[in-house]
Structure 1
Amino acid sequence: MQDDPFSDFLNLISARSVLSGGLVAGGPWAIAIPPPDKIKFWGVVRGNCWLLIEGEAAPIHLEEGDVFLLSAPRAVVMASDLAAPLVDLDDVLKYRVGAVAHHGTGDDCFVIGGNVELNAEYGQLLTGALPPFIHVHAGSRRAQTLCWLMDQLIQEREDDPPGAYVASTQLAHLMFIQILRAHFETTKPLTAGWLRAVTDRRLSPALRLMHNDPGRSWRLEELARAAAMSRATFALYFKTVAGIAPMSYLTEWRMRLAEQAIRENSVHIGDIGRSLGYTSESAFSNAFKRVTGRPPMRFKNAAG
């Protein structure tokens, strides 16, 4: 199976999901969660609770099977009763047993949570295009898959079979992708930009061509044909979705790949340029500086 544009995008931003643990709580309780420095997501395995997000007027009620993602660095209160005495998350985690923390009296509510780490250079391409939070309801199209993933995550933690950490990491990443898919399917069109482009089905055939062979001198007619559009319709539609023209997108994609290759420090700059379709090192350097704001050697020195 060939990579698809959204998979390429996730690789570019180095998205990596990790299951952070679980919370079992009962009785009246309220926990203050500080603003995260990563994308956070939670799934309600059992029971229900409230989320009060900094900057939002109304609390959000989460029911069994609901999943919630927080992409903005905002403080959150998670509670069975928002009037209950507030306890800091760090104080709750002091009494954690393994990966699960217990709070309050009983086990009415069971929530699991995860983090998503992103490349510092490109992570904004995702977080800048997402709303501050995403709520996937238990009755939605993706809910059955998300519930299955939560069950598998719990099973891995409880049984602790060989490879449990790797399996849990991959399951958590699948959960993150399913949350994003649910968002793409139910929200109004995203703001024009990279994320909207790589998730657009009509543009996907053309983007696959550019991503799989970025060094080729693609013509607009070839890309339009792949997307089953006329040249003029394709150019207009592409700019509406991506915010830039097709050839500008191709140049930017080449420069993202070049930045990755330069960071790896294993290939000569001239060879990187030739692999991306530039006939000379000077032509590549000029294009790189035009897109990134600095020449390749300065970028390399800054990257260490």
Structure 2
Amino acid sequence: MDPLEDVLALLDTCGHVSAGLVAGGDWAVDFPPPPGVKFNAVRRGRCLLEVDGVPESIALSEGDCFLLTRRRGFTLRSGPQVPAVAAGPLFARADAGVARAGDGDDVHLLGGRFSFGARAQELLLDGLPPVIHLSAGTGRAQAVRWVLDAIDEELRHRQMGATLVAEHLAIVMLVHVLRSHLASGAGTGPGWLAGLADPAVTAALACVHRDPAHPWTVAELARAGSVSRTVLATRFKKAVGQAPHEYLTAWRIELAAKRLRKGEDTIASIAHAVGYGSDSALSTAFKRVMGTSPRDYREQTESAEKVQMH
């Protein structure tokens, strides 16, 4: 697995496709802050996107899509100064998977969201801007358009397993949008995601993710990226915000934490799987990174899950 695949898998990333929106004339719809990451794609027409806390509105045209990576309210509208209606009642009246606003069908939007398990904010979302806008004119737009066409096809014909197929296709769209964002050089906060924009750092990250239990040295990671130890250490720290050995420790702890949340393995077996010789060695590193012992972390997770069930 590469780092992007690894992190999305670690976070139990799931796609959810919601009712579409068809609108025309003068219209505006207010959406509450969404759970997870919201996406919309303009399949026909054009509209404006306004996001709470983002000073400028974003013009969306046919073929454009956006990701909203923060829990912020947003409005989609035909133009400025149009009074908005609440999305909840509008989508509650959706017919055949389509909600309607305004008068006509000049605009068609396909929407949904991505949900994640624990640690998504720190591992993925904090490194992204509040809104990622992928314009139809960008290089990867064609791949995203293909995915959206396929989702549309599934939702229109509703063959067996259509929802499952559409939600897996949504994950494909997410990967393409993230790739496009990285390739654009747009703002990405320090972290593994920013490291993917640097070939030498990407090679080092790939080594760590391919075999996290290996006792990687800076020299080995530098050889993988065809640079010197000094160059890798400097570029890795600048992009990721951590030294290579710190990132290796942090990733091992993330893997251990997921196994602890699942509750299936002993702490000793988890320690061995992620590169520690004993449960005490894992416990020391885990407490340094997470602020609690593996045993207490597992108990806290189990307690939280029981509360959610009730």
Query: Could you tell me how far 1:23 is from its partner in structure 2?
Result: 0.4
Match of 2:175 in 1: 177
Maintained 8 Å contact 2:129/2:188: no
Query: Could you tell me how far 1:198 is from its partner in structure 2?
Result: 4.5
Match of 2:306 in 1: none
Instruction: Tell which deviates more after alignment, 112-121 or 48-57.
Output: 48-57
1:122-148 CA deviation, whole Å, 9 max, x = no partner? 333221111111111111111111222
Q: Where does the alignment leave 5 or more consecutive residues of structure 1 unmatched?
A: none
Letter in 2 for 1:56: V
Aligned partner (choices 5, 10, 13) of residue 12 of structure 1: 10
Instruction: Tell which deviates more after alignment, 289-298 or 73-82.
Output: 73-82
1:61-102 CA deviation, whole Å, 9 max, x = no partner? 111111111112222121113333321111211320122112
- Aligned mates of 1:289, 1:58 — CA distance in 2: 43
Match of 1:45 in 2: 43
Match of 1:259 in 2: 257
Maintained 8 Å contact 1:39/1:72: yes
> SS of 1:289's equivalent?
helix
State percent identity of aligned pairs.
38
5 Å matches for 1:181-196? 181-188=179-186, 190-196=188-194
> SS of 1:203's equivalent?
helix
- Aligned mates of 2:215, 2:53 — CA distance in 1: 48
Q: Where does the alignment leave 5 or more consecutive residues of structure 2 unmatched?
A: 303-310
Aligned partner (choices 102, 105, 109) of residue 104 of structure 1: 102
CA gap of 1:276–1:95, structure 2 versus 1, over 3 A, is: closer
5 Å matches for 1:69-218? 69-188=67-186, 190-198=188-196, 200-218=198-216
Maintained 8 Å contact 2:19/2:94: no
- Aligned mates of 1:85, 1:241 — CA distance in 2: 44
Letter in 1 for 2:251: W
> SS of 2:19's equivalent?
strand
> SS of 2:127's equivalent?
coil
Query: Normalising to structure 2: TM-score of the pair?
Result: 0.92
Instruction: Tell which deviates more after alignment, 33-42 or 74-83.
Output: 74-83
Aligned partner (choices 20, 23, 28) of residue 21 of structure 2: 23
5 Å matches for 1:275-286? 275-286=273-284
Match of 2:32 in 1: 34
Match of 2:305 in 1: none
Count of residue pairs brought into register by the alignment = 302
Query: Could you tell me how far 1:189 is from its partner in structure 2?
Result: 5.4
> SS of 2:93's equivalent?
coil
Query: Could you tell me how far 1:279 is from its partner in structure 2?
Result: 2.1
Maintained 8 Å contact 2:188/2:194: yes
> SS of 1:44's equivalent?
strand
Aligned partner (choices 219, 223, 227) of residue 221 of structure 1: 219
Maintained 8 Å contact 1:26/1:108: yes
> SS of 1:72's equivalent?
coil
Aligned partner (choices 245, 270, 273) of residue 271 of structure 2: 273
Maintained 8 Å contact 2:222/2:232: yes
Maintained 8 Å contact 2:19/2:91: no
Match of 2:308 in 1: none
Aligned partner (choices 58, 61, 86) of residue 59 of structure 2: 61
Query: Could you tell me how far 1:246 is from its partner in structure 2?
Result: 0.8
Query: Normalising to structure 1: TM-score of the pair?
Result: 0.94
- Aligned mates of 1:267, 1:120 — CA distance in 2: 18
Query: Could you tell me how far 1:36 is from its partner in structure 2?
Result: 1.4
Question: What RMSD over aligned residues (CA atoms) do the two structures have, in Å?
Answer: 1.6
Letter in 1 for 2:130: P
